[in-house]
Amino acid sequence: MPSVNDRIIKTEYSEVMQKSYIDYAMSVIIARALPDVRDGLKPVQRRTLYDMYELGIRYDRPYRKSARIVGDTMGKYHPHGDSSIYEALVVMSQDFKKGLPLIDGHGNFGNIEGDGAAAMRYTEARLEKITQEAFLADLDKDVVDFIPNFDETEKEPTVLPVKIPNLLVNGSEGIAVGMATNIPPHNLAEVIDATKAYMLDENISTRELMRYVKGPDFPTGGIVINEDELLDIYETGTGKIKIRGKVEVEKARGGRINLVITEIPYTMIGANISKFLMDVAALAETKKTQDIVDITNQSSKEGIRIVIELRKDADVENFKNLLYKKTRLEDTFGVNMLAICDGRPETMGLKQIIRENVNFQFETATRKYKNLLEKELERKEIQEGLIKACNVIDLIIEILRGSKDRAMAKGCLVEGKVDGIKFKSKESKIMAAQLMFSEKQANAILDMRLYKLIGLEIEALINEHEDTMANIYRYEDILARRDSMAQVIINELDELKEQYRRPRRTQITTASEAVYIEKKAEEMDIVFLLDRFGYARTIDMATYERNKEAAQAENRYAFVCKNTGKVCLFTNTGQLHTLKAADLPFGKFRDKGIPVDNVSNYDSARESIVYAASQSDLNLYRVIFATKQAMLKIVDGGEFDVAKRTVAATKLQEGDEVISVAAYKEQRHIILQSREGYFLRFLVEDIPEKKKGAVGVRGMKLGAKDELEAVYFTRGVDDSAIEYKEKRVELNKLKLGSRDTKGVKIRT
């Protein structure tokens, strides 16, 4: 017996991982995420529909609980969890996602605004009529291959015999490993017309096919605005479709104007509707526009209706363009027509998808009519045997009466064996020996009931035989001539088109890019207020003058800036964050502000503000920096006039942080105070001017465990004093020293 070591296979770990990952990726691509080009369905969708077909949940029968369908599908065909099956069932029933819903849902199956479906134990479902007629109708005619399910206890179809290019009609979306598919839905009647055109001329071009398929037809309507780019998208199978919502103008009370959004881009389905409402509200809050009076969502089961009430003097077209530019009312649908073709993923254009579907139609039609022909030939054989038997019915009865058992009678009918059978005459025996019925004919004769001998029944049998012969000639013609088969397929397509067509919902056009002309605000002085909690707002100068003392006492920073300008926030981490004054709420003195985190990159959780100033003021001065490790420098304020929202205001050494930033105006002396009580006073002019990217120079010698705690400035003539550990310290009376010395210790 071989040892364990003999049975160990040694191989490269990287090779095993590579093979395993490739196997996993292909499994996801083929068996889960991507649709088959022939029926346009993913495995989970195909299995769900087939399970409903097997359970007999037809369109003309009662609904069944979704949980029953999901459980049966999971147990028989799709062992990947109930949530994925139920989600697929829900999506196939939602008319705002599918151009052609395949399942008739009963109960709460979610809505266009993103509310999810009720739990599967509450909802019910059944097949739609078109699903039975165009997706599942010929499964009993051996038109597709069946394979064992995951545990080989059931059989499932490899593909459904779908009679329309479902991949185009319903579209598809899915994310696999390293690839994704995103196919828009199209109009059923247009796709059928294009399919017929291809069948009549296989050399037809994509441009000619697009005479029929104008472009995508989204269930949510909307307007595709890049018609001139669609040809390239349908040629290559990839590209970007630009789609806008439909906006109507209504007059409201008081001379105001209502903009009513009645159709939305397909990409806005779900949570993006509420996101759109928030984005529109944000335009008003951030002063991007002052035209908005109110916004309401009046959508219902009847359709989308979002109403934006505007001021009387609003420029409607300019406001529309603002919505297109700043919200998802204009959005992009990224097309990637990727599907499984011949067992592998392939990106296909419009013509290739139609070609693959037509080839599939011919394949299923060939198998269908071969199956029907075999059944008709079998029926013909039996009918001819019965007609022949009726002509010699007296002899047949004589054989049956003279036979001892069924086998003896059958032997006589098939092979003319007469031994052991009692006949009334020699003539009957001679005639019986000449009978040559086939096996099937003999069984049919032996199973025939006496009422079949009635004259009308015999006449009906003859008529039935004539119908059978007509069917045989027809089926043989269909199988022998491609034109005949094509006509049969076209007739079926015409019937489906006539019964299930609907008007196009999405408008296709070429529109110019939305251009929003922003109204320039009249420049004026306002006052920026930042309280100790990090909330900022702005007020007008008159309000500030009336409440000056309170404003200075209640806020960390209060200074004048321009309403069109920016505010600079310097933080302890050495960062400079800029924010637009226009982005801050402007109002009354007691109004609440908004966190500066919301309008800048400042993060109050990991940094703190050490200085704030108007950017226009900084341009007039130089800025003094001091850090915990006593590094000092002066920077030209013009270096902080930047377009970026966040830049590094200074370079810090490891473990260091900024403790003071100040505009260099009339200060003469700087006083540095360390944590251990050392004070050093020297001239500000001793600090060198550096670039903002420099570290600076040392301003004070610190002890091993000491660090800079505070920075003060004096003009040299004033009597500035501070309270240090309950002791008054006159700053101007401190000994004047030199930069980079230890200073004097204040005894407490």
Q: Are residues 588 and 638 in the same domain?
A: yes
Q: Are residues 396 and 484 in the same domain?
A: yes
Q: Is residue 517 part of a domain?
A: no
Report the CATH number at residue 675.
2.120.10.90
Strands 103-106 vs 338-341: parallel, antiparallel or unpaired: unpaired
Report the CATH number at residue 134.
3.90.199.10
Domain that holds residue 47: 41-159
Q: Is the pTM of this model over 0.75?
A: no
443-480 pLDDT, tens digit per residue, is 887 887 766 666 657 788 888 888 899 989 999 999 99
Does residue 162 surpass a pLDDT of 60?
Answer: yes
DSSP-assigned letter for residue 639 = G
Which residues, 6+ apart, have CB-to-CB distance to 416 below 8 Å? 432, 433, 434, 435, 436
With CA atoms as reference, report the closest residue to 359 among 197, 167, 198, 474.
198
- A 10 A CB-CB count for 79 gives 11
471-519 pLDDT, tens digit per residue, is 899 999 999 999 999 999 999 999 999 999 999 999 999 887 777 676 6
Residue 676 identity? E
Q: What is the edge-to-edge ordering of all strands in the sheet holding 555-562?
A: 555-562, 525-531, 535-540, 594-595
One-character DSSP codes across 438-470:
-HHHHHHHHH--GGGGSHHHHHHHHHHHHHHHH
Tell me, what's the pLDDT at 416? 77
CA distance 273 to 136: 36
105-127 pLDDT, tens digit per residue, is 999 999 998 889 999 999 999 99
Stretch among 13-27, 580-594, 634-648 having the lowest mean pLDDT = 13-27
Mean pLDDT of the 236-245 span: 95
Q: Is residue 292 part of a domain?
A: yes
Q: Is residue 546 part of a domain?
A: yes
35-66 pLDDT, tens digit per residue, is 999 999 999 999 999 999 999 999 999 999 99
Structural contact between residues 623 and 665, judged by C-beta atoms closer than 8 angstroms: no
Q: Are residues 291 and 427 in the same domain?
A: no
Active site residue 324: no
Distances (CA, A) of 384 to 378, 393, 420, 437, 739: 10, 14, 28, 10, 122
CA distance 190 to 210: 9
Select which of 53, 63, 86, 122 is catalytic: 122
Does residue 1 surpass a pLDDT of 60?
Answer: no
**Token pair in block for residue 136:** 């599942």
Tell me, what's the pLDDT at 30? 61
Mean pLDDT of the 704-715 span: 91
Average of per-residue pLDDT values in the chain: 89
Residue 220, SS3 per DSSP: coil
CA distance 21 to 9: 19
Burial class (CB in 10 A: 0-12, 13-18, 19+), 459: exposed
With CA atoms as reference, report the closest residue to 363 among 489, 502, 182, 213.
489
Tell me, what's the pLDDT at 635? 94
Tell me, what's the pLDDT at 518? 67
Q: What is the edge-to-edge ordering of all strands in the sheet holding 646-648?
A: 609-614, 566-571, 575-580, 646-648
Q: Are residues 552 and 657 in the same domain?
A: yes
Tell me, what's the pLDDT at 516? 67
Structural contact between residues 659 and 627, judged by C-beta atoms closer than 8 angstroms: yes
Tally of domains within the chain: 4
Our CA angle for 390, 392, 394, nearest 5°, is 100
CA distance 46 to 6: 46
Q: Are residues 635 and 724 in the same domain?
A: yes
- A 10 A CB-CB count for 224 gives 26
**Token pair in block for residue 465:** 């035989």
CA distance 189 to 503: 9
Q: Are residues 494 and 554 in the same domain?
A: no
Q: Are residues 435 and 480 in the same domain?
A: yes
- A 10 A CB-CB count for 298 gives 11
Tell me, what's the pLDDT at 28? 57
Distances (CA, A) of 468 to 43, 140, 267, 447, 456: 39, 20, 54, 21, 18
Our CA angle for 3, 5, 8, nearest 5°, is 120
Structural contact between residues 205 and 213, judged by C-beta atoms closer than 8 angstroms: no
CA distance 317 to 159: 50
Burial class (CB in 10 A: 0-12, 13-18, 19+), 725: exposed
CA distance 258 to 196: 45
Q: Is residue 233 part of a domain?
A: no
- End residue of a domain, out of 159, 189, 215: 159
Q: Is residue 639 part of a domain?
A: yes
Half-sphere exposure of 86 (CA within 13 A, CB side): 21
Q: What is the edge-to-edge ordering of all strands in the sheet holding 678-683?
A: 708-714, 669-674, 678-683, 744-745
Tell me, what's the pLDDT at 452? 64
DSSP-assigned letter for residue 30 = I
Does residue 385 surpass a pLDDT of 70?
Answer: yes
Half-sphere exposure of 436 (CA within 13 A, CB side): 1
Higher pLDDT, 436 or 84: 84
Q: Is residue 35 part of a domain?
A: no
Q: Are residues 307 and 433 in the same domain?
A: no
**Token pair in block for residue 220:** 């949510």
Distances (CA, A) of 121 to 16, 117, 226, 543: 43, 11, 44, 62
Does residue 535 surpass a pLDDT of 60?
Answer: yes
Phi-psi region of 483 (alpha: psi -120 to 50; beta: other; left: phi over 0): alpha
Report the CATH number at residue 459.
1.10.268.10
pLDDT-based confidence at residue 718 (cuts at 50, 70, 90):
low
* H/E segment holding residue 275: helix 271-285
Q: Is residue 213 part of a domain?
A: no
Higher pLDDT, 296 or 252: 296
Residue 183 pairs in a beta bridge with 172
* H/E segment holding residue 51: helix 43-55
Q: Are residues 663 and 572 in the same domain?
A: yes
Burial class (CB in 10 A: 0-12, 13-18, 19+), 512: exposed
pLDDT-based confidence at residue 521 (cuts at 50, 70, 90):
low
Q: Is residue 733 part of a domain?
A: yes
Burial class (CB in 10 A: 0-12, 13-18, 19+), 92: buried
H-helix segments, 481-576? 482-500, 541-546, 548-554
Compute the 3-state secondary structure of the chain and give helix, strand, coil in percent, each to the nearest 5: 40, 25, 35
Our CA angle for 461, 464, 465, nearest 5°, is 90
Half-sphere exposure of 419 (CA within 13 A, CB side): 2
- End residue of a domain, out of 159, 178, 196: 159
Q: Are residues 409 and 558 in the same domain?
A: no
CA distance 456 to 55: 40
- A 10 A CB-CB count for 521 gives 12
Which backbone phi and psi does 112 adopt, to 5 degrees?
-65, -20
Which backbone phi and psi does 489 adopt, to 5 degrees?
-65, -40
- A 10 A CB-CB count for 399 gives 25
Report the CATH number at residue 309.
3.30.1360.40
- End residue of a domain, out of 159, 186, 218: 159
Mean pLDDT of the 141-166 span: 93
Q: Are residues 694 and 548 in the same domain?
A: yes
Tell me, what's the pLDDT at 538? 93
Q: Are residues 539 and 587 in the same domain?
A: yes
